[in-house]
Each structure stands twice: as structure tokens, then as C-alpha cells.
Amino acid sequence: MILDGKCPTGPIQESWDKHRFELKLVNPANKRKFKILVVGTGLAGGAAAATLGELGYNVEAFCYQDSARRAHSIAAQGGINAAKNYPNDGDSIFRLFYDTMKGGDFRAREADVWRLAQVSNNIIDQCVAQGVPFARDYAGYLDNRSFGGAQVSRTFYARGQTGQQLLLGAYQALSRQVKAGTVKIFARREMLDLVVVDGVAKGITCRNLVTGEIESYWGDAVVLATGGYVNVFYLSTNAMGCSVTATWKAAKKGAFFANPCYTQIHPTCIPQSGDHQSKLTLMSESLRNDGRCWVPKKKEDCGKAPGEIPDEDRDYYLERKYPSFGNLAPRDIASRAAKEQCDDGRGIGPGGRGVYLDFADAIKRFGKDVIAARYGNLFQMYEKITDEDAYQVPMRIYPAPHYAMGGLWVDYNLMSNIPGLFVLGEANFSVHGANRLGASALMQGLADGYFVIPYTIAGYLATVTPGTVKTDAPEFRESAEQVKAQIDKLLSIKGKKTVAELHRELGRVMWEDVGMARSKESLEHALKRIPEIRNEFWENVNVTGTNEEINQQLENAGRLADFLEFAELLAKDALHREESCGGHFRVEHQTEDGEAKRDDENFAYVAAWEFKGTDKEPELHKEPLKFENVKLAVRSYK
């Protein structure tokens, strides 16, 4: 099937304004008759729930944590982009649009990216009005810094806690609506199924994580804003609860899953120190504004203390390979370059899996105080984890799975192919193409939540009669029974392996075979191994306790069960995409100097997969990508 993204036609500069004007409206008096379910209270879901509540809709919002304020968006450190051009360095909406298209290796939709760049400026204004304490200069104006993949300073930040402050802004707006009675929050609820009635999304099935009760909720529309899936790699920078469950369950109900193989490996994470580890910690990319990446030129030097290696024996490989972007080369490029150095035997630290990120020059130039003011909390965090003082010795960093560019397929209105099911933020596939530039996920989450969905959902709701389907519909009962059956099954296996053990096994396969570089052989190996681990899971997992209580083993088992199905789709997508682009690197497709080689002739499309059954081949649907405003070029940062 050829998919239609329903992008507006005509000059791109006017596309969003024109589309907005053409969208149908819901009369203010009728809004309260509609009920909207918003799953996820991160930047995307929190902003959406608050805004829709303020507009007068009845909103019910769900999250698995104990409070909406703890969504994973809270962990974002570096910053959020906007095309304000306050620093007068030549930024514009078009430049942000262009950088994002190029950064994504020309695998995103032009119209969506344009809209993102256009509303980016409203986001900053909105957050300032909410009291987000962005960094200010001495004149009292907003301060900016730069991030990977851009040559202008367009990133707004609040120390190293930008995500926290933006999320608290949305959470506070949400709290205001709770007080006003338009939003009801259901915390410690996990969505375990989407309810589809006559082909239309009409509700969700949740497990109450405190009592174990299986609960049904109806809505005139369902909004999924449930974040990304890179915990499929086991070790990642994501929070422990991040999962594919909500989007995968929707996929099993017919929603297409787009570009699952586009996963981002972030270059600046603290290297793994042992098997005990449960996650990897990201060090903000903004560190590369002042930190220089290097490894020893000679293998024999790798064991030496960094201070004993003179400058001429160091290889500042990013500055060498990419003179114009240097240490600010985008993430996929910087990650691959780091891995190359390590594969070449010149990595440092335990197992040779690390490179230096060195602040010595910057400290010499600006003084320790300036560096401490810029990145102090990151240095603190680094010291807590590694027991090393990075003001004295260079940091050690290594790439780690970080962000999912793939997600449920949506059209320009952020609606999936299931009418009534909208998908926002990291959970959808829309704007990042094959690689996300720094500071643009926060931008996307808030753009979707504050400035896109309030308009586009009205266009849909104007075509439906509110409250026609309630939880007494048979589809709700069937869904609840299915969910209950899976829980009973999980609890009855009583095998020998823990959930964590099996997740680690899956993670190893995913990292080795489907990680930073993929080949036909490695992917075929993964496609053999994943079903084996899945079978073992269903025969030999040990889930303790009962359903009728707080049961974290059961929660984790359910999430792993979904990862074990989804992982296979991810590997299949990577195998079918016979090209390299952004975070998807097929070793068979590279240029002579080892850069990603795209195949625009054959692969300039979105790959949207339709689930057909766990042991059946998924069906591939294509949405061709048209480029009218950017020229498809080789993506060079030299």
C-alpha cells in the first residue's frame, strides 16, 4: 500500500497556516462533551493534556509513575532549540528546517519539519510565561548555546536540567487543569492494550499497578505520548520503565510501525563499568562545545595516564576528520567515529571501550569557574558515578543507545492509520528522519503537545459524535480478557530465569548485531536469536508474586514480552533497508572513507510495517518522501 501523509500542498512557508485555517473547529460549548484519553505525561503528553483541558475538553491522563512530573522527559539535560536568532548569528526558520532535514539524513517529511521549525519560537515564549527559569544574560535576556549538527547558537537551556524545567512547566499547567476539573490524572496505571471498535480507536485497557485491577477507559480519541523504545537494547540512557508496550500493543491492533530501525546511539555517555550495570548515563552533548575528543595515536599509549601523553601523540579525531564541525559533529557521526577508534585498538579505559573528552584547554582558556558555571552539575554527576574529577583528568565517554527516531506512523495531523488514535513525541516517527539532532526532541514533544494536536484533533473530533461508545461495548471486555490471560500466563510459567537475565540476553544480541553497525549476517543472526530468546522467555521465565498487588517483576515481564516481539521487527526493518542513513549504518553500504551511503533512488521512503501475527511476516507499506524545498545532498560535515 502507498501511504498518504496528507501533507498540505503549495509553498511550504504557508503550509501550516493554511492547513490550520482549513481544519474544522469544535464549538466551545461542545468541547466538554468529548472525552480524550492521553497516555503519557511527558513533554508531549503533559503539554497535550494541559492544552486540551484548557480548551475545554474532558481529559483523562495516564502514566505508570506515581506522579505526572516523573516522566522520562525530566532527564533531558542539554537544551531545546528554537529559531529565534537572538544571538544574531544568521538563524532562521528555514535554517532550522534545513539543519533538521539534513541532520535526519533526508529521511523525514518536509512539511512536518517545517511546522516544527515554525512553532519552535512559540514554545520558548510559552515556557517563559509558565516561569521556566531559562538561563539569562546580565541584560536579562535569554541565553543560548550550540549543539551538535548546527553552526548557530539556537539552544535554550536551564543549567543542565532543561528537560526537568520544561516538564515541570507542563506539569504545572497540567496541575492547573486538574484544579479546574478539566483533567483527571491516573497515575500508577500502565496501558496494556488499545481498544478498537469498528476500526476506530475508542479506549484503552490498563493495569492498576497498585491493586492489579484491569481497568477499561473509553474516549472519543486516544492520544499516545508514551516515549521511545531503546530499552530494547537493555542498557541505554533511558529510564528503567521506558518501554515499547503502549505503541506495540497499538501496532498489534493495526497501527503501522514506521522506521523501527532508526535508533540513535549517543556519543557522550559514561562507559559501562561492569555486568552489574542497569543503565548507562548520558553526559550532555553540550559538553562538546568546550570538551575535545581524543584517543592516543599509538596503541601502546592506551594504558598510560592521559597526562603522560603529549599533544603530538594525541589524535583529535573529530577535529581531524570534520574540520568545519569538529567536536560538534552530529551524533551518528561522532558515535561511529568513537567506535572506529576503539575498534582500531586505540580506545581507553576498561576493555578499551572509551575515548577522552578533555576540558584542559577550555579550563586554561576560560578558567575553571567559567567551565564549572557552564557544566558544573555534569562534572558532579560524572564524579559520583566514576569517582574521577574531570577538572583534573579528562572524562571517558562511549556511545550508548539513546533515542528512537522510529515510532508509530502518523499523518500530518499526527493521526495514525487507525482513526481516532493520535501519536505524539518520541512515540511517533515524524520529524527526525534517520538521526535526531541535539535539543530537538524536547522541541518536538512540546510542539506536538502545545501547538499541533490542539488544532488537528479538533479536525477529527468535528467528524464524530461524542460518547457513542462506552466501556460496556464488547470490545472492552475482550481486550480486558486478553490482558488478563497474558498476566495469568506470565505468572504461571514459574521457570528458572529472571526477567532481567532474559532482557540482558536480548540486549546483548541487539547491541552486537543490530547496534551501531549492522550487516546482513549480523541481522540474520539476530533474527535467528530473537525468537529463540522469546521462546525461552515464554517457557522459562520466573515471575514471582501475584497480580493483585504491587508487582514489579510482572510489570517488567510484560514489557520484556513486548520488546521480544518488537525486536524482531526492528531487525527486519534494518535488514530490508539496503542503504545507510543517519543512525542506521549497514556496513555493506559505505563510502570509501567509511561514511554512510544513502540510496535515494530506492529508499527515499518511510517504511511502515503492518503486524500480521507473531510468527508471520509483517507487511511493508511505503510512504514515498518528496523533497521540494531541500536538495537531496550527500550529508557532509567536513
Partner 1 sequence: MNLTLHVWRQKNASDPGRLEQYQAKNISPDSSFLEMLDQVNEELIKEGKEPIVFDHDCREGICGMCSQVINGIPHGPEKEATVCQLHMRRFKDGDAIFIEPWRSRAFPVMKDLIVDRSALDRIIQAYGYTSAHTGGVPDGNAIPVSKTYADAAMDAAACIGCGACVAACPNASAMLFTAAKVSHLALLPQGKVEATRRVKAMVAQHDEEGFGNCTNHYECEAACPKGISVNFIARMNREYLKALPKAD
Ligand X SMILES: Cc1cc2nc3c(=O)[nH]c(=O)nc-3n(C[C@H](O)[C@H](O)[C@H](O)COP(=O)(O)OP(=O)(O)OC[C@H]3O[C@@H](n4cnc5c(N)ncnc54)[C@H](O)[C@@H]3O)c2cc1C
Q: Residues interacting with ligand X, by CB under 6 A?
A: 39-45, 62-65, 71-73, 75-80, 162-163, 189-191, 225-227, 237-238, 242-243, 245-246, 282, 403, 425-427, 439-442, 445
Residues 6 or more apart whose CB falls under 8 angstroms from that of 43 comprise 71, 73, 163, 166, 167, 170, 425, 442, 445, 446, 449
Q: Which of 90, 198, 278, 592 binds partner 1 (CB under 8 A)?
A: 278
Give me the least distance between CB of 465 and ligand X, in Å please: 27
By CB under 8 A, residue 122 contacts partner 1: yes
Give me the least distance between CB of 53 and partner 1, in Å please: 10
By CB under 8 A, residue 478 contacts partner 1: no
DSSP 414-439: SB-SSTTEEE-GGGB--SSTTSPPTT
The identity of residue 40, as a single letter, is G
Give me the least distance between CB of 537 and ligand X, in Å please: 19
Give me the least distance between CB of 322 and ligand X, in Å please: 21
| Residue number, 451 or 511, with CB nearest to partner 1 | 451
# binding residues, partner 1 (CB under 8 A): 78
Give me the least distance between CB of 228 and ligand X, in Å please: 6
Cα–Cα distance measured from residue 2 to residue 247, given in angstroms and rounded to the nearest whole number: 22
| Residue number, 526 or 554, with CB nearest to ligand X | 554
**Subset of 522-561 contacting partner 1 (CB under 8 A):** 542, 544-545, 549-550, 552-553
Q: Are 5 and 109 in contact (CB under 8 A)?
A: yes
What is the enclosing helix (H) or strand (E) of 621?
A: strand 619-624
Among 510, 144, 73, 101, CA closest to 330: 101
Q: Which of 3, 86, 547, 600 binds partner 1 (CB under 8 A)?
A: 86
**Binding partner of residue 84 among partner 1, ligand X, none, CB cut-off 5 to 8 Å per kind:** partner 1
**What is the DSSP pairing of strand 257-258 with strand 221-224?**
unpaired
Q: Are 62 and 37 in contact (CB under 8 A)?
A: yes
Length of the chain: 638
| Residue number, 480 or 554, with CB nearest to partner 1 | 554
**x/- letters, 246..275, toward partner 1 (CB under 8 A):** ---------------------------xx-
DSSP 527-559: HHHHHHHHHHHHHHB---S-SSS--HHHHHHHH
Give me the least distance between CB of 140 and partner 1, in Å please: 3
By CB under 8 A, residue 281 contacts partner 1: yes
By CB under 8 A, residue 175 contacts partner 1: yes
| Residue number, 218 or 403, with CB nearest to ligand X | 403
The identity of residue 53, as a single letter, is G
Burial of 75-112, coded b for 16+ CB within 10 Å and e otherwise, reads: bbbbbbbbbbbbeeeebebbbbbbbbbbbbbbbbbbbb
Give me the least distance between CB of 23 and partner 1, in Å please: 15
Among 224, 178, 148, 231, CA closest to 404: 231
- Among 93-101, 260-268, 447-455, 580-588, the segment contacting partner 1 (CB under 8 A): 447-455
The overall longest dimension of the chain from CA atoms, in Å, is: 75
**Binding partner of residue 248 among ligand X, partner 1, none, CB cut-off 5 to 8 Å per kind:** none
- Among 158-166, 215-223, 414-422, 608-616, the segment contacting partner 1 (CB under 8 A): 158-166
Q: Give the CA-trace dihedral at 405, 205, 235, 585, to 10 degrees.
A: -30
**Subset of 44-63 contacting partner 1 (CB under 8 A):** 47, 50-51, 54
**Subset of 359-418 contacting partner 1 (CB under 8 A):** 381, 384-385, 387
By CB under 8 A, residue 84 contacts partner 1: yes
Number of residue whose CB is nearest ligand X: 42
- Among 104-112, 118-126, 564-572, 601-609, the segment contacting partner 1 (CB under 8 A): 118-126
By CB under 8 A, residue 66 contacts partner 1: yes
**Binding partner of residue 210 among partner 1, ligand X, none, CB cut-off 5 to 8 Å per kind:** partner 1
Cα–Cα distance measured from residue 235 to residue 466, given in angstroms and rounded to the nearest whole number: 43
What is the radius of gyration, based on Cα positions, of the chain?
24
| Catalytic residue list contains 145 | no
Considering 331, 436, 529, 586, which one is annotated as catalytic? 331
| Residue number, 450 or 603, with CB nearest to ligand X | 450
DSSP 481-499: HHHHHHHHHHHHH--SB-H
Q: How many CB atoms lie within 10 A of CB 451?
A: 21
Q: Which of 159, 331, 346, 432 binds partner 1 (CB under 8 A)?
A: 159
By CB under 8 A, residue 70 contacts partner 1: yes
DSSP, collapsed to helix, strand or coil, labels residue 440 as: coil
| Residue number, 386 or 482, with CB nearest to partner 1 | 386
By CB under 8 A, residue 279 contacts partner 1: yes
By CB under 8 A, residue 68 contacts partner 1: yes
By CB under 8 A, residue 69 contacts partner 1: yes
**Subset of 123-142 contacting partner 1 (CB under 8 A):** 124-131, 133-142
| Residue number, 7 or 204, with CB nearest to ligand X | 204
| Residue number, 324 or 380, with CB nearest to ligand X | 380
Give me the least distance between CB of 437 and ligand X, in Å please: 9
| Residue number, 83 or 527, with CB nearest to ligand X | 83
Give me the least distance between CB of 627 and ligand X, in Å please: 24
Cα–Cα distance measured from residue 441 to residue 437, given in angstroms and rounded to the nearest whole number: 8
Cα–Cα distance measured from residue 168 to residue 158, given in angstroms and rounded to the nearest whole number: 12
Cα–Cα distance measured from residue 112 to residue 413, given in angstroms and rounded to the nearest whole number: 9
By CB under 8 A, residue 114 contacts partner 1: no
Cell matching residue 390: 574531570
Cα–Cα distance measured from residue 484 to residue 476, given in angstroms and rounded to the nearest whole number: 12
Cα–Cα distance measured from residue 194 to residue 171, given in angstroms and rounded to the nearest whole number: 25
DSSP, collapsed to helix, strand or coil, labels residue 56 as: coil
| Residue number, 177 or 522, with CB nearest to partner 1 | 177
Cell matching residue 233: 537494547
Name the one residue in this structure whose C-alpha cell is 531541500. Answer: 630
Residues with catalytic function:
331
